[in-house]
C-alpha cells in the first residue's frame, strides 16, 4: 500500500534556543514528483531535509514520509530512502565498485553494482581509487551510493554544486531518469535554472517559512514579474521622440531596454509608432522572467536583499 503523498509536513517547527530555524511549515510532495526546496543561506532547508531524513528531531509538528514518522522509523524507514549529501566522506583507498558493493550489502532491496555505476556514468572509473577521482566524479559516486538501495525517495542536497556545465547536464539527465523510474526526489539547490529545469514543483523558503510554492510556471505567472524588452533604434533617435511605452526606457547608444509587466501593450505602442514614423526597429527580443528573477523578487519582498540572498544568513 503506498501513501497518498510521499511526504507530508504539517505545522513543522524546529527551534534552536531563540532561533526559529523552521517556523510553522506545511507542504506535501506527491509520489513520483521531483520537488525542489530553494531559499537563501540559513533559510532552514537543511534543517527540514534532515528532519525528513530522520537525522534531526523536530520541536513540533507532524511529519509523514512514505508512511513513516522519520523520527521513529528506524532502519525500516532508512531502507526506503536514499540520501546524497554534499560531502559523503568515503574511504579514499576504495574504488567506486568496492564502495557500491559495500553499501549495497546494507539494503534488502538492491540495484546491481554495474547497473548503478553505469547509471551515474562512472563505468570508466569503476576500479580507480576514490582519491584519484575528480570532484565531479566523486559527486557521481555519492549519487551511486544513494541509489544502490533502490530507494522510493531520494534526497539530493545541492547535487551539482561545483560541476562543470557538461557534468551538470549529465546530472540533470540522471535526475530525469529517476523521474522516469517513478522515484520521488527532494532536491535542494541554489541554482534556479536547475530547479526550473528539473522540478515539477518548487518551494521557496525564507527564514523558516514558505513564501511560495508551485510549478516553476505558476511561480512566475503568479508574480506578474517584469518581462524585459530589448531593441535597437537608429542612433539619431532620442528618448523624447519615443512614445510612452508604460515603463522607463534605458537607451545606451542605439540599444534600448525596458522592463514591463505588460509586454504586449508596450510592443504594440513601440511598433505602431515605428511604422507611422518610418523608424527601423531591429534586434527585438522579449524575455519572460526567469525563475531566478521571480525568486529574487520573492525573497526581497520577504526582507532579504538580492545580494545577501546567495551569500549571507538571514537574521532571525
Ligand atoms: N545545530 C544548530 N544549532 C543552532 N542553530 C542552528 C543549528 N543548525 C542550524 N541552525 C540555524 O538554523 C537556521 C537554518 O539553518 P539551515 O542550515 O537549515 O539553513 P539552510 O537553508 O540549509 O542554509 P544553507 O543554504 O546555507 O545550507 C540558521 O539560522 C542556522 O544558523
Measured distance CA(159)–CA(163) in Å, rounded: 9
Mean pLDDT over 55-81 rounds to 94
Indicate if the pLDDT at residue 315 is higher than 60. Answer: no
Q: Hey, whose CA ends up nearest to atom 5 of ligand 1?
A: 16
Asked whether residue 310 is domain-assigned, the answer is no
pLDDT at 202: 96
Asked whether residue 305 is domain-assigned, the answer is no
When mean pLDDT is compared across 39-43, 125-129, 219-223, 251-255, the lowest value belongs to 219-223
Burial (CB < 10 A; 0-12, 13-18, 19+), residue 275, is exposed
pLDDT tens per residue, range 76-104: 999 899 988 766 677 889 999 999 999 99
- pLDDT, averaged across the chain: 88
Domain that holds residue 232: 227-288
Q: Hey, whose CA ends up nearest to atom 10 of ligand 1?
A: 21
Mean pLDDT over 276-301 rounds to 89
With a 6 A CB cut-off, is 208 part of the ligand 1 pocket? Answer: no
Cα 190 to averaged position of ligand 1 atoms, centre (Å)? 15
Measured distance CA(193)–CA(199) in Å, rounded: 10
With a 6 A CB cut-off, is 16 part of the ligand 1 pocket? Answer: yes
Asked whether residue 293 is domain-assigned, the answer is no
pLDDT tens per residue, range 223-248: 667 788 999 999 999 889 999 998 88
When mean pLDDT is compared across 43-47, 159-163, 188-192, the lowest value belongs to 159-163
When mean pLDDT is compared across 128-132, 171-175, 275-279, the lowest value belongs to 171-175
- Looking at the fold, whether 159 and 239 belong to one and the same domain comes out as no
- Looking at the fold, whether 198 and 213 belong to one and the same domain comes out as yes
Ligand 1 atom at minimum distance from 14 CA: 12
Residue at which a domain ends, from 199, 220, 241: 220
- Looking at the fold, whether 78 and 103 belong to one and the same domain comes out as yes
Measured distance CA(207)–CA(315) in Å, rounded: 8
The domain spanning residue 33 has which CATH number?
3.40.50.300
Asked whether residue 208 is domain-assigned, the answer is yes
**DSSP secondary structure string for all residues of 218-254:** HHHHHHTPPEEEEEE--TT--GGGSPP-SS----BTT
With a 6 A CB cut-off, is 42 part of the ligand 1 pocket? Answer: yes
Burial (CB < 10 A; 0-12, 13-18, 19+), residue 144, is buried
Residue at which a domain ends, from 220, 242, 266: 220
Mean pLDDT over 21-26 rounds to 96
Cα 103 to averaged position of ligand 1 atoms, centre (Å)? 29
Q: Hey, whose CA ends up nearest to atom 13 of ligand 1?
A: 21
- Looking at the fold, whether 123 and 238 belong to one and the same domain comes out as no
Of the CA atoms within 13 Å of residue 67, those in its CB half-sphere come to 7
Cα 42 to averaged position of ligand 1 atoms, centre (Å)? 5
At residue 316 the predicted structure's pLDDT band, cuts being 50, 70 and 90, is very low
Show the DSSP H helices in 134-204 as ranges.
135-147, 165-180, 192-198
pLDDT at 292: 87
Indicate if the pLDDT at residue 214 is higher than 70. Answer: yes
With a 6 A CB cut-off, is 41 part of the ligand 1 pocket? Answer: yes
Sequence-distant (≥ 6) Cβ neighbours of residue 187 within 8 angstroms? 34, 35, 36, 37, 156, 159, 175, 194, 195, 198, 199
Mean pLDDT over 293-312 rounds to 70
* Grid cell for residue 44: 532552514
Asked whether residue 294 is domain-assigned, the answer is no
Q: In terms of residues, how long is the chain?
A: 316
pLDDT at 205: 95
Q: Hey, whose CA ends up nearest to atom 25 of ligand 1?
A: 41
Looking at per-residue confidence, does 26 or 171 come out higher?
26
pLDDT at 56: 94
Indicate if the pLDDT at residue 221 is higher than 60. Answer: yes
Asked whether residue 254 is domain-assigned, the answer is yes
% pLDDT > 70, the chain? 92
Residue at which a domain ends, from 220, 250, 274: 220
- Looking at the fold, whether 244 and 133 belong to one and the same domain comes out as no
- Looking at the fold, whether 23 and 154 belong to one and the same domain comes out as yes
pLDDT at 66: 95
Cα 303 to averaged position of ligand 1 atoms, centre (Å)? 18
- Looking at the fold, whether 118 and 261 belong to one and the same domain comes out as no
Of the CA atoms within 13 Å of residue 39, those in its CB half-sphere come to 26
- Looking at the fold, whether 213 and 70 belong to one and the same domain comes out as yes
Q: Hey, whose CA ends up nearest to atom 2 of ligand 1?
A: 16
Q: Is the pTM of this model over 0.95?
A: no
At residue 313 the predicted structure's pLDDT band, cuts being 50, 70 and 90, is very low
Residue 154, beta-bridge partner list: 82, 185
Nearest to 36 by CA among 173, 156, 168, 160: 156
With a 6 A CB cut-off, is 19 part of the ligand 1 pocket? Answer: yes
Mean pLDDT over 263-289 rounds to 93
- Looking at the fold, whether 116 and 143 belong to one and the same domain comes out as yes
With a 6 A CB cut-off, is 43 part of the ligand 1 pocket? Answer: yes
Number of domains, the chain: 2
Amino acid at each position: 500500500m503506498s501513501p497518498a503523498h510521499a511526504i507530508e509536513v504539517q505545522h513543522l517547527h524546529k527551534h534552536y534556543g531563540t532561533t526559529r530555524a523552521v517556523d510553522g511549515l506545511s507542504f506535501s510532495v506527491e509520489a513520483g514528483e521531483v520537488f525542489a526546496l530553494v531559499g537563501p543561506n540559513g533559510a532552514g532547508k537543511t534543517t527540514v531535509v534532515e528532519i525528513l531524513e530522520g537525522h534531526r528531531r523536530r520541536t513540533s509538528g507532524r511529519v509523514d514520509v512514505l508512511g513513516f514518522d522519520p523520527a521513529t522509523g528506524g532502519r525500516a524507514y532508512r531502507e526506503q530512502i536514499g540520501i546524497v549529501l554534499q560531502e559523503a566522506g568515503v574511504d579514499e583507498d576504495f574504488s567506486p565498485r568496492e564502495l557500491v558493493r559495500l553499501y549495497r550489502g546494507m539494503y534488502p532491496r538492491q540495484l546491481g553494482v554495474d547497473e548503478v555505476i553505469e547509471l551515474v556514468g562512472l563505468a570508466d572509473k569503476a576500479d580507480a581509487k576514490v582519491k584519484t577521482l575528480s570532484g565531479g566524479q566523486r559527486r557521481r559516486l555519492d549519487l551511486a551510493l544513494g541509489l544502490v538501495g533502490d530507494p522510493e525517495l531520494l534526497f539530493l542536497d545541492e547535487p551539482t554544486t561545483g560541476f562543470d556545465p557538461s557534468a551538470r547536464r549529465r546530472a540533470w539527465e540522471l535526475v530525469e531518469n529517476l523521474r522516469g523510474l517513478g522515484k520521488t526526489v527532494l532536491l535542494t539547490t541554489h541554482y534556479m535554472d536547475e530547479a526550473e529545469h528539473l522540478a515539477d514543483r518548487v518551494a521557496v523558503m525564507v527564514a523558516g517559512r514558505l513564501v511560495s510554492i508551485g510549478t516553476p510556471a505558476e511561480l512566475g505567472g503568479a508574480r506578474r514579474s517584469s518581462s524585459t524588452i530589448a531593441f535597437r533604434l537608429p542612433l539619431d533617435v532620442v528618448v523624447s521622440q519615443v512614445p510612452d511605452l508604460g515603463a522607463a526606457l534605458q537607451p545606451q547608444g542605439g540599444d534600448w531596454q525596458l522592463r514591463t509587466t505588460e509586454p504586449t501593450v508596450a510592443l504594440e505602442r513601440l511598433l505602431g509608432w515605428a511604422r507611422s514614423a518610418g523608424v527601423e526597429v531591429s534586434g527585438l527580443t522579449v524575455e519572460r522572467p526567469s525563475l531566478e528573477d521571480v525568486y529574487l523578487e520573492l525573497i526581497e519582498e520577504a526582507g532579504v536583499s538580492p545580494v545577501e540572498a546567495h551569500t549571507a544568513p538571514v537574521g532571525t
